[in-house]
């Protein structure tokens, strides 16, 4: 009788131990699921972050973007001066485009400009021509030019915005282009040269890369 009782107590202890073991294992498993990731998943996450960082890479250019260039007060003041000069040069006798290379000193982060390039003086029956007759500066970061009014050319019209030649020119140098023209799709003869201007950013490059 005593032996049977001992066997019964032994069986009960074993059963309790088994139940405790199942409960502990179940709790650990539940905790891992609740954490949302295992140590292996955490390593994968860190590796994934490293890969994304390597893919993004360091900044590839020390030159400013075209938006940064246009945000500069020094640059804006210079471009506005050239736009006003373009308008003042226009008369019944002719009109001229103007242009400059915008320069950037990577050490001082300061802007400067090439000498002004004056286009050919042309009449109403001739397309505007701009001959770049200076050597592009080694620190150039963008090219700017203006298009002309048709105030003194009644009966004429033209599309505004950069031309294919304008785009090819800046793409050849690997720099962004900036254009001041009139804020209409089609400029017609007789329209005031003081109409609102529009700023166009053009070309394949948002900034000089080398």
Tens of pLDDT along 45-98? Answer: 333 333 433 445 555 689 999 999 999 999 999 999 999 999 999 999 999 999
pLDDT at residue 210 is higher than 90: no
- Residues 116-122: what's their mean pLDDT? 96
Q: How confident is the model at residue 3 (pLDDT cuts 50, 70, 90)?
A: very low
CB atoms within 10 A of CB 198: 13
CB atoms within 10 A of CB 206: 14
Q: Mean pLDDT over all residues of the chain?
A: 80
Give the torsion through C-alpha atoms of 18, 24, 30, 33, to 10 deg.
-110
User: Which residue would you say has higher pLDDT here, 121 or 24?
Assistant: 121
- 3 state DSSP class of 52: helix
Question: Would you say 175 and 142 are in contact if contact means Cβ atoms under 8 Å apart?
Answer: yes
pTM for the model stands at: 0.72
How many CA atoms are closer than 13 Å to the CA of 170, on its beta-carbon side? 29
């Amino acid at each position: 009788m005593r032996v049977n009782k001992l066997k019964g107590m032994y069986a009960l202890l074993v059963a309790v131990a088994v139940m405790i073991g199942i409960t502990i294992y179940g709790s650990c498993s539940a905790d891992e699921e609740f954490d949302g990731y295992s140590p292996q998943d955490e390593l994968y996450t860190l590796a994934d972050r490293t890969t994304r960082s390597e893919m993004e890479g360091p900044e590839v250019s020390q030159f400013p973007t075209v938006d940064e260039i246009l945000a500069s007060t020094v640059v804006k003041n210079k471009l506005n001066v050239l736009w006003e000069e373009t308008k003042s040069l226009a008369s019944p006798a002719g009109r001229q485009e103007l242009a400059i290379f915008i320069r950037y000193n990577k050490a001082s982060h300061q802007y400067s400009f090439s000498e002004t390039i004056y286009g050919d003086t042309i009449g109403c029956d001739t397309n505007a021509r701009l001959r770049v007759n200076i050597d592009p500066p080694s620190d150039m970061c963008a090219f700017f030019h203006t298009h002309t009014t048709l105030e003194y050319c009644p009966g004429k019209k033209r599309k505004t915005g950069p031309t294919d030649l304008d785009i090819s020119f800046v793409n050849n140098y690997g720099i962004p282009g900036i254009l001041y023209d009139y804020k209409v799709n089609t400029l017609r003869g007789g329209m005031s040269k003081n109409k609102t201007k529009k700023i166009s950013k053009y070309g394949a490059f948002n900034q000089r890369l080398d």
